[in-house]
C-alpha cells in the first residue's frame, strides 16, 4: 500500500486528500493530506504567536544542535531520500543522489553560519555628538517565513528555504510543489525528529492556488521565499503586506558563448550536461549556445552526437541520464515549440520526437530564428539551440537581448576573452569553461531583471531572514 503523508500543521484538520503519481509511468506513490482555509489560518496563527513570544525563541545553541542532528539523520537516509526524489520528481537517480548530498551539506552550512555571522560595531566617541557612547548591532529573526517551493529539486530547495529560516530563528511555513511534496514532508519530519518543535516548521499542500496566495500575502508574514515561474512570483510580490520582504527565484534562457579558441573536449561534455540535466527542467539550464561561425557546425554536430548517446528512461534506474518531464502536457508543449522553430527555418540535428507520454528525446536545433519562442522563452525541457556568430560583442548583445538574466557562460582559452565576456554579459554570474547550471550552495544565486528578486544561497538567505538591530548607550 502507498504511504500516506498527514498535514504537518499542529491542531489542523485536512480538507481533502491528493494522490501523488510518478511522472515517468503514472504509478501511484503516495497520498497526502491537503489543507483548506482553516489549516492555513491555523498555521499562520501558530507561527505568528510563536514569533511574538520572545521567551519562546530558540537560542542559537539549540538551533545548531537541531541542524547538526538533522544532518546526521539525512546522511543515514540519503539513499531513501534520493530514490523518493527520483520517483516523485523524475530526476535520474544518479543526479538525485548528488542533490541529496548537496542538501545534507546545505543543512550543515545552516548550522555553521551561526558561528560566523554576526552584527558589527558602529564607531562612536569620535566627535562631540558621539562622545561617551557605544553602539553595536545584533541580528534578530525577521518574523514568520513563508516558503513556496518548486518541483525540480524537491529536497535541496526545501533545505535552501527552510534551513536558513531555522538558523535565523524564524518560524517557517512551507508549501511544497503539488507534484513533489513528499521529499519536503520527509525533510520537515527529519527536522522534527532532530528536536525542532513542530510549531517552528509547518508544512502543508493547500487545496487551491488561491489559498497559497492567501498564505503568502497575509499581514502576519514577514518574509516570502518563492521559487517558481515569473508570472506567479511577480504576482505574489504585488500582493505582499506592507513591510514584508521577499526573495523570488524564477528562470532564464541561459546563454553560453563558445569562442573560436575554446577547448571543445572540455566544452561539449559540459554543454551536454548543462542542457539535458534533469531533462532541462532547471532555471539555469543551458538553452542558447552562441558559437563562433567557423566552428559552429562542428560544435552543433558534436552536441547532437552527445545528446543521442544519453539514456532516457525510468529515473530510478541507475543508468538513466535523462528522465521524464514533470507533466505530460509539458511533452506536448515542448514538441510544439520545436516544430514551430523548424517550420521557421531551424535545422533539427537530433531529437524532435516524444519517446512516450512523459519523455522527450534530447534535442539540438541549429539557428532558430530570434523571434521563435524557443529563442525568446525558457523552454524548461531537453532542448538546446546553437546560433553562429561572427564577432564576440554581437554574441554578447544577443545573449543580453531578453528581459531575463541569470547565469551565463563563456568557453575560451583566452583570459582577455573571458574577462571581456564577464564585463559585458548581463548576468549575476558568468561561468568560465563550465556550463550555466554550475552551483555550489554557499555562493550567491540571483536572477536579474524578470529572472528574480533578492539573492539566494544559504548564507545570503540567512541574512535576508533577519533584521539588524542597533544598541546605542553610554560607554560606562
| Non-local CB neighbours of 166 within 8 Å, separated by 6+ positions | 63, 66, 67, 110, 172, 191, 196, 200, 201
CA atoms of 7 and 14, how far apart (whole Å): 6
Sign of CA dihedral 422, 441, 315, 208: negative
In what side-by-side order are the strands of the sheet with 383-389? 347-350, 363-366, 383-389, 288-292, 255-258, 407-411, 429-432
Closest CA to 47 of 174, 150, 160, 159: 174
Do the beta carbons of residue 373 and residue 402 sit within 8 Å? no
Pairing of strands 288-292, 255-258: parallel
Catalytically annotated residues: 249, 283
Closest CA to 188 of 8, 386, 396, 394: 8
Do the beta carbons of residue 282 and residue 152 sit within 8 Å? yes
Beta bridge partners of 30: 3, 20
Closest CA to 227 of 461, 462, 463: 461
Closest CA to 34 of 211, 206, 208, 209: 206
CA atoms of 277 and 437, how far apart (whole Å): 9
Amino acid at each position: 500500500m502507498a504511504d500516506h503523508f498527514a498535514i504537518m500543521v499542529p491542531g489542523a484538520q485536512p480538507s481533502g486528500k491528493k494522490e501523488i503519481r510518478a511522472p515517468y509511468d503514472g504509478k501511484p506513490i503516495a497520498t497526502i493530506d491537503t489543507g483548506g482555509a482553516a489549516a492555513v489560518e491555523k498555521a499562520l496563527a501558530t507561527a505568528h504567536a510563536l514569533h511574538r513570544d520572545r521567551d519562546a525563541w530558540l537560542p542559537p545553541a539549540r538551533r545548531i544542535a537541531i541542524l547538526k542532528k538533522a544532518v546526521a539523520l539525512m546522511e543515514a537516509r540519503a539513499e531513501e531520500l534520493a530514490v523518493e526524489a527520483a520517483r516523485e520528481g523524475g530526476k535520474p537517480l544518479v543526479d538525485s543522489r548528488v542533490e541529496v548530498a548537496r542538501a545534507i551539506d546545505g543543512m550543515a552550512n545552516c548550522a555553521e553560519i551561526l558561528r560566523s555571522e554576526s552584527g558589527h560595531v558602529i564607531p562612536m566617541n569620535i566627535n562631540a555628538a558621539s562622545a561617551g557612547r557605544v553602539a553595536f548591532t545584533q541580528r534578530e529573526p525577521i518574523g514568520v517565513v513563508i516558503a513556496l517551493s518548486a518541483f525540480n529539486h524537491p529536497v535541496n530547495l526545501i533545505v535552501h528555504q527552510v534551513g536558513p529560516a531555522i538558523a535565523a530563528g524564524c518560524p517557517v511555513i512551507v508549501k511544497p510543489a503539488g507534484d513533489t511534496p513528499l521529499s519536503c514532508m520527509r525533510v520537515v519530519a527529519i527536522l522534527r525528529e532532530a528536536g525542532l518543535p513542530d510549531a517552528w516548521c509547518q508544512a502543508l499542500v493547500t487545496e487551491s492556488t488561491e489559498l497559497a496566495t492567501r498564505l503568502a500575502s497575509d499581514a502576519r508574514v514577514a518574509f516570502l521565499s518563492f521559487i517558481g515561474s515569473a508570472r506567479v512570483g511577480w504576482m505574489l510580490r504585488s500582493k505582499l503586506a506592507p513591510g514584508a520582504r521577499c526573495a523570488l527565484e524564477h528562470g532564464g534562457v541561459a546563454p553560453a558563448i563558445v569562442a573560436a579558441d575554446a577547448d571543445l573536449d572540455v566544452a561539449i561534455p559540459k554543454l551536454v550536461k548543462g542542457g539535458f540535466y534533469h531533462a532541462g527542467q532547471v532555471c539555469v539550464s543551458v538553452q542558447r549556445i552562441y558559437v563562433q561561425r567557423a566552428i559552429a557546425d562542428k560544435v552543433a554536430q558534436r552536441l547532437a552526437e552527445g545528446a543521442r548517446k544519453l539514456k532516457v528512461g525510468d529515473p530510478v534506474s541507475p543508468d538513466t541520464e535523462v528522465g521524464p518531464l514533470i507533466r505530460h502536457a509539458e511533452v506536448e508543449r515542448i514538441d510544439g515549440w520545436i516544430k514551430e522553430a523548424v517550420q521557421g527555418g531551424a535545422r533539427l540535428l537530433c531529437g524532435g520526437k516524444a519517446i512516450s507520454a512523459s519523455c522527450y528525446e534530447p534535442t539540438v536545433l541549429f539557428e532558430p530564428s530570434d523571434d521563435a519562442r524557443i529563442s525568446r522563452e525558457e523552454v524548461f525541457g531537453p532542448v538546446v539551440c546553437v546560433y553562429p556568430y561572427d564577432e564576440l560583442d554581437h554574441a554578447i548583445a544577443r545573449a543580453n537581448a531578453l528581459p531575463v538574466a541569470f547565469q551565463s557562460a563563456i568557453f575560451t582559452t583566452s583570459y582577455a576573452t573571458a574577462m571581456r565576456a564577464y564585463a559585458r554579459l548581463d548576468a549575476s554570474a558568468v561561468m568560465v569553461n563550465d556550463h550555466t547550471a554550475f552551483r555550489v550552495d554557499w555562493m550567491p544565486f540571483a536572477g536579474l531583471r524578470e529572472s528574480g528578486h533578492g539573492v539566494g544561497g544559504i548564507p545570503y538567505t540567512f541574512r535576508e531572514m533577519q533584521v539588524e538591530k542597533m544598541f546605542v548607550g553610554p560607554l560606562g
